Amino acid sequence: MGMKSETHAGVKTSDQPVFFPASDPKYFGIVSEPATATAKTTAVILLSGTFGGTTTLGRNRFWLKMARSLAQRGHRVMRFDYAGIGDSTGEAVCHELEKPATEELRAAFDLLASRGAEDFIVVGTCYGSRTALVGSAEEPRVRAVHLLVPPIGSGNKGTGGAEHLAEFGTPVSLAKKAFSRRVLRRILNDSRSRLMARRVISLKVNSLLGRSSDDQRVNDETVYVSEDFYRPLRRLLERNVPIKFMFGEDDFFRTEFESAREGRLGPLLTAHSDRLDIEVVPGVVRGFLTIQVQDQCIESVLNWVEATGE
């Protein structure tokens, strides 16, 4: 079960835990770098989804393996816990796609810059991919972005959002879901779940009545694209930042992305096709559920970093 990515396995790396930013060390992160050589000036930041109780590890130490593999290739690499997760402080919050962890990401840019980084490559998945987009659009030193199964809609992380449920659920399937014991208890006990349920009902009713509930919906034929996805993507592409998308053939987010290419995203992606790379692999990538998928993603990121880095 060897990892394909360990072609530089002989190179020693070191991990250093950090609390940051220095002025108010409330976030926890780990910086990996080559142990014996000076790190390259292009640093890499890895942004996990909010799976599990820490965002530094991932399934089967996926992010740790990716970080150490990149460090073996000479990069300084940082991964960290978002506020309220793992060893970072702060209240446990609902990680909404439209409230990305940009404060944490800005602090990570500053920390790596203070250690010699001159520019950055940002890698993210799910909630982390949205953080990567928004945060990179604000940071002129970002030179490339790799997005693993990014959601393009809105809503809470991991749910596909209210739009997903309203778009793809039938009235009967939604009612069945709402009256299941677990969901009903959540709706009764949790104000955020109540808000989510209200939004699903509103969107579904509007859709059944043929009304567009939101001016961001491009047209009824295409899928909803969040402004918080579209705007930073456009900004990065206009800045000539190379962006790579990676999906599994069977990922729901790939279906969503392909539908969006038929609509609003299409002209933007076509106009900047020379800066875009879209990789589709068999199966499901989201969640990195198998070691084969984990290895494929690590290899994709390593190759992309090698191609776009110094």
Contacting another protein (CB under 8 A), which of 4, 38, 53, 306? 53
Stretch that binds another protein, among 19-27, 121-129, 137-145, 200-208 (CB under 8 A): 19-27
d(CA 168, CA 155): 15
Which strands, in side-by-side order, build the sheet including 119-125?
13-20, 27-34, 77-80, 42-47, 119-125, 142-148, 243-248, 276-281
Q: Does 160 bind another protein (CB under 8 A)?
A: no
Stretch that binds another protein, among 18-26, 143-151, 241-249, 255-263 (CB under 8 A): 18-26
Q: Does 9 bind another protein (CB under 8 A)?
A: no
Q: How far is the CB of 224 from another protein (least distance, A)?
A: 22
Q: Which two tokens stand for residue 61?
A: 């130490």
Contacting another protein (CB under 8 A), which of 54, 69, 102, 131? 54
The answer to whether the beta carbons of residues 137 and 228 sit under 8 Å apart is no
Contacting another protein (CB under 8 A), which of 291, 306, 307, 310? 291
Stretch that binds another protein, among 51-59, 110-118, 124-132, 211-219 (CB under 8 A): 51-59
Give the orientation angle of helix 191-208 with respect to helix 171-178, to 10 degrees: 170
Contacting another protein (CB under 8 A), which of 4, 7, 35, 61? 61
Using the minimum distance from each CB to another protein, give the nearer residue, 77 or 241: 77
Q: How far is the CB of 159 from another protein (least distance, A)?
A: 8
Using the minimum distance from each CB to another protein, give the nearer residue, 89 or 173: 89
Using the minimum distance from each CB to another protein, give the nearer residue, 159 or 216: 159
Site string for another protein, 103-142 (x = CB under 8 A): ----------------------------------------
Number of residues forming the site for another protein (CB under 8 A): 42
By CB under 8 A, what part of segment 179-238 binds another protein? Answer: 182, 185-186, 189-190, 192-193
Stretch that binds another protein, among 97-105, 221-229, 239-247, 287-295 (CB under 8 A): 287-295
By CB atoms closer than 10 A (0-12, 13-18, 19+), residue 26 is middle
Q: How far is the CB of 160 from another protein (least distance, A)?
A: 12
Using the minimum distance from each CB to another protein, give the nearer residue, 193 or 202: 193
Q: How far is the CB of 109 from another protein (least distance, A)?
A: 18
Sequence-separated (6 or more) residues with CB below 8 Å from residue 6: 69, 72
Contacting another protein (CB under 8 A), which of 41, 103, 106, 158? 158
Chain residues binding another protein by CB under 8 A are 1, 14-19, 25-26, 28, 30, 51-54, 56-57, 59-61, 64, 85-87, 89, 92, 94, 158-159, 182, 185-186, 189-190, 192-193, 287-291, 294
